[in-house]
Amino acid sequence: MSSIRNSDKQLHLAMFPWLAFGHMLPFFELAKLLAHKGQVRITFISTPGNINRLPKIPPHLDSFITLVSLPFLPEHKANLPENAESTMDVPGDKTAELRMAYEGLQESLAQLLKSSAPNWILYDFIAHWLPPLANSLNIPCAYFSVFPALDTCFFHPPKSLVGNPAFLRTKIEDFLGPPKWVPFPSKIGLKFHEVKKFFGAPPPLVENVDNAILSCDLFVYRSCTEFESEWLNLVGELHKKPVIPVGFIPPTLQVRAVDEEEKNPMWATIKPWLDKQRHGSVVYVAFGSEIKLSQEDITEMALGLELSGFPFFWVIRKEQLSLTDLPNGFEDRTKDRGIVCKDWVPQLKILAHESIGAYFTHCGAGSVLEGLNFGRVLVTLPFYVDQSLHARVLEEKKVGVEIPRNEQDGSFTRTSVAKSLRLAMVDEEGSIYRDKAKEMGLLFSDSHIQDRYIENFIEYLQN
């Protein structure tokens, strides 16, 4: 610690995340943790609307973080909904247009990097064009992954292995278990219905993501060796590049958003209801801002919650209900023990409340970290392939219970929802999940461990 703080060398880092808040916020929180050390100056780059929606920078960090807005080019902006600048602003069929608009920022980003000359640039998985640009300007680039190292090992092997017939993955069956290049025991794999979705991804997009991730000079992960040392080590062995974990960047260290939430009128109405519930009795349900739930999904989730008998707090976005409906009479039948909230809520405050026993989630990387930070058992229902891998590793580590689905079509039932919730919350055989989640919560929320990772990262960049 002292060697870093006594150094006169101040680093200048540029950060350029993908236009999704599940990516922008971890980049932003990493920027603040780095700036807090006093040895790093950060230029954080995004579009004007996204910059305006970021949390406020704490006054004592103002001089270390510069927010820079790069507007979309008019020809790309015209293909998007009005004022749309992030994935939460666009329907799923417009994501390609958002990627094109993001790619259209190349020239203005190049001019900014030329004039500001950062020591490093941290970029995201979509920007396949950024490593060549950085290389042309003699700026080293680091891929900052908000996903665990497991994802890189499973989806992005080095090209030397891809071209080797012994390691080819051309059939659905090749993805149902761990890749052949994983040298240690693991049950990680996708389900049949998940692989079909993966094979349906456009080949150019898959190739671009591969190029973006594998063209870096340094891998940086929102992870730690205490959680996935074997996968972090494997990334380095496979790709022959340095790998630096920066810790989980847990929510209790983020922006001190909890203080702002205390003043929010929503919390004033939510807290009294939570206070009335028994310790560890409530299921918190939230599936992020971008998951599109079908009518069948909504129906089986709702009736599963009802069948479980547990108190629940379900946050469901209005957009998720725009084309669907809750089952007829569901809210009336469960009004004495459940709340369906169709507005923004202070999620960290809810997860921190002692009445919460389990977090029913899609298993996005940020949601996993927030739930485990407070020692909550995760009941998982993944919708995208990265979430599926997260659910499998959480099951392996006995901190998450995955709701069973039909292998062929991915459907699930209200009965499987209720049974999984009971296993996580009260069944004797599920006690190992509850104990392990509490144990993991101590690791995820340990500020000393987090501080050590940030200091190690700065030391690596300085040297």
Same domain, 165 and 187: yes
> Is the same domain home to 233 and 348?
no
Q: What does the pLDDT read at residue 87? A: 92
- Residues in a beta bridge with 243: 219
Residues 235 and 353 in one domain: no
Residues 268 and 242 both lie in one domain: no
pTM exceeds 0.85 for this model: yes
Asked if residue 378 and residue 302 are part of one domain, the reply reads yes
424 in a structural domain: yes
Which residue segment(s) compose the domain that 407 sits in? 253-444
Look up residue 324 and give its two tokens.
């669907």
Kindly state whether residues 421 and 458 are assigned to the same domain: no
Which CATH number goes with the domain that contains 188?
3.40.50.2000
Q: Taking all residues of the chain, what is their mean pLDDT, rounded to a whole number?
A: 92
Q: Tokens 């390691």 — which residue?
A: 167
Q: Mean pLDDT lowest for which of 109-123, 161-175, 432-446?
A: 161-175
Residues 357 and 398 in one domain: yes
Label residues 302-323 b or e (16+ Cβ within 10 Å = b). bbbbbbbebbbbbbbbeebeee
Please tell me what DSSP assigns to residue 38.
T
- Catalytic residues, by residue number, are 23, 124
Residues 339 and 219 in one domain: no
Higher pLDDT, 200 or 42: 42
Look at residue 197 and tell me if it is in a domain: yes
Which ranges constitute the DSSP H helices of 337-430?
347-352, 365-373, 385-396, 414-425
Rounded to whole angstroms, the Cα distance separating 254 from 25 reads 9
Would you place residue 258 in the very low, low, confident or very high pLDDT band (cuts 50, 70, 90)? very low
* Predicted confidence (pLDDT) at residue 256 exceeds the cutoff of 70: no
H-helix or E-strand spanning residue 401 = strand 400-402
pLDDT tens digits, one per residue of 187-198: 899 999 999 888
Domain membership flag for residue 75: no
Residues 6+ apart with CB under 8 A from 401: 377, 378, 379, 380, 395, 420, 423, 424, 430, 433
What's the total number of domains in the chain? Answer: 2
